[in-house]
Amino acid sequence: WNEVGPVAGPGFLPNVAVTALQVFNSGGLKFLRAATCGRGIWQWDLVTTPDLQLSVASNPQTIFASQTATYTGMIFAHNGYASSVNLSCVPGTTGTPQNCAVNPGVITPTAQGAAFTLTAKGAAGDYSFNLQAAGTDPSNVTHVFPLSLHVIDFTLSAPSPTSVSVAPGATSAPVSTTVSADGAFGGQVTLSCSGLPAGTACQFQPSVVAPTSASPVSVSLTISTSITSPPGTYQILISAASPGGNTKSQLLILSVNFVPDYILAIANASLTAHVNSSAIFNGTLTAVNGYSSAVAISCATGAPANCVVNPASIVPSDVGVPFTVSVSSVVSQAFAFNINAFGGDVLSVSHSMPVAFTALPAQSFDFTLSATPPSVSIASGQTATYSIDVSPTTGAFPGNVTFSCSGAPALTTCNFNPLQISSGSGDSVVTVTALTTAPTPASRISSALWMSFPIAAFLWTWKQQPNLKRRAGYAVLMIFVAALCGSSCGGGLQGNGDLGTGSPGTPVGTYNLQITVSATSVTHSAQVKLVITQ
């Protein structure tokens, strides 16, 4: 018996329970293997005649079609086998690769193992073939060892069309090509190009592909030039590369021609504004190669109803001629459209630029209002002062802010400082003063005013009397009447007879003042108390 594991070497089968027995074929030999309880795995060679055994490492393998797979192997002699052996590649479930060789082709196995190598390469595909060892002994002992090889590859088709023309500062028409996979290829292929003139670039869409044998990938190529790209004819090499494989290439002929043209450019291709508000795209038209015809600019299908180009017709120049496109919408919506330019030249050169405009819902405005202190107590004739804070919830006030108050008692007025808040202001504080009126006493009329009436009558009568004695009598009578009037009015010229009722002032009580603030179409109110104590 030979111990297979955990250590290797000859010996006696341990005197322990055997848990499993099974016959194995390995490298052309047949063994009986026994699994013991705690003493490892042992095997017995069921073939006791001279024989040989094959062992090959690094199997299976995957290579590109241009590469060569190398298998390393050993051939062992058993039971004293000493004849030479012919090694060769033979078909298995498939044929052998187109190139398959064993070195050395004739070998004599040893108990320790004799080394050999097998090399194989071929067209893309999957190969399941055998390594055959045919002995030269009288029994012609022959064994085979199964091998597997995956040959993969990818291809790049010729471009269509094979040549393309483009003017300086323009982009070529699309060129198409296809990347295909052969065999079990599952990698990525990166595309690039070389041989471009100065100021020129190529763009692949997509630039990295992952084809399979069942799903080739189509690729679109465009070549862009700058105004400074030199004219001429160039051979452009389109390359496709994948890690581990050879780069595949195709040739494209590029012609850079001097054709009068112009460049349409939009500086701000995406704009946003609120409903009924305008947004303006800024564009330029730049002449290329002496282009000198008028170009009509317009908004294409999909633009908002209000889309105005100014000016609508331009003759491009070398330094660029500016224009604007004003857009607005009465509804909230996203618009994606082109700004088109149509040349008046014989070739009707036309270009377009995609732009986007989003009309947001109408912006709602509001503000907050607070008043302090909530209550003020004063005597009539004094002034109550309040402070109100007005603040827009977003941004600034879109218009002037005005103030008013109501609910004030009689003989009281409200004043605001400042009288209004200007448009564009932010958070603002306004002082409100309530001016009350003090009471005033009733008015007194001098007794002299009352006395003036009888005096006037006396003077008129006295003047009408020619007799001096009668005049003297009237004078005595007048003195008596004046004395009587003076005593009835409280004494002489210090009378206090009433002419009016006077003013009671602002009435005592508690009043709710309503302070109202208006900003555009939004109005808010705050209430404070005014207490008149006396």
Q: Hey, where are the domains in the chain?
A: 2-45, 51-153, 157-256, 261-360, 367-439+507-532, 444-498
Across the range 109-119, mean pLDDT stands at 95
- H or E element: which one contains 106? strand 106-107
Q: Are 76 and 29 in contact (CB under 8 A)?
A: no
Give percent of the chain above pLDDT 70: 87
* Pairwise pLDDT comparison (228 vs 363), residue with the higher score: 228
pLDDT, residue 101, reads 96
The Cα-based distances of 374 to 368, 370, 380, 407 in angstroms read 16, 10, 19, 15
| Mean pLDDT value across the chain | 86
SS3 sequence, 281-323? EEEEEEEECCCCCCEEEEECCCCCCEEEEECCEECCECCCEEE
CA separation for the pair 277, 202 (Å, rounded)? 41
pLDDT, residue 468, reads 52
pLDDT, residue 475, reads 52
pLDDT band at 490 (very low <50, low <70, confident <90, very high): very low
pLDDT band at 499 (very low <50, low <70, confident <90, very high): very low
Adjacent-strand bridge partners of 76: 53, 110
The residue ranges of DSSP E strands in 168-268, in sequence order, are 175-182, 189-194, 200-205, 208-209, 217-225, 232-241, 248-256, 261-266
DSSP structure string for 395-443: S--SS-EEEEEE-PPTT-EEEEESSEE-TT--SEEEEEEEE----BPPP
Q: Are 325 and 280 in contact (CB under 8 A)?
A: yes
pLDDT, residue 497, reads 41
The string of pLDDT tens digits covering residues 178-214 is 999 999 999 999 999 999 999 999 999 999 999 999 9
Q: What is the pTM of this model?
A: 0.45
* Pairwise pLDDT comparison (530 vs 365), residue with the higher score: 530
* Pairwise pLDDT comparison (466 vs 268), residue with the higher score: 268
By the 10 Å C-beta count (0-12 exposed, 13-18 middle, 19+ buried), 115 is classed as exposed
Judge whether 51-153 and 261-360 match in fold.
yes
pLDDT, residue 303, reads 96
pLDDT band at 460 (very low <50, low <70, confident <90, very high): low
Q: Which of 28-37, 278-287, 396-405 ranks highest by mean pLDDT?
A: 278-287
pLDDT, residue 479, reads 55
- CATH 3.40.50.300 describes domain 261-360: no
CATH architecture of 157-256: Sandwich (2.60)
pLDDT, residue 15, reads 80
CA separation for the pair 191, 181 (Å, rounded)? 14
* Pairwise pLDDT comparison (188 vs 25), residue with the higher score: 188
CA separation for the pair 46, 2 (Å, rounded)? 12
Tokens of 51: 């024989």
Q: Which of 104-113, 207-216, 504-513 is predicted least confidently?
A: 504-513
CATH architecture of 51-153: Sandwich (2.60)
pLDDT band at 41 (very low <50, low <70, confident <90, very high): confident
Q: What angle do CA 352, 355, 361 make, to 5 degrees?
A: 150
- CATH number belonging to domain 367-439+507-532: 2.60.40.10
- H or E element: which one contains 512? strand 509-519
Give percent of the chain above pLDDT 90: 61
Say whether pLDDT at 113 is over 80.
Answer: yes
The Cα-based distances of 250 to 177, 185, 233, 528, 533 in angstroms read 9, 21, 16, 87, 103
The string of pLDDT tens digits covering residues 128-151 is 999 999 999 998 999 999 999 999
pLDDT band at 501 (very low <50, low <70, confident <90, very high): low
The string of pLDDT tens digits covering residues 302-358 is 999 999 999 999 999 999 999 999 999 999 999 999 999 999 988 789 999 999 999
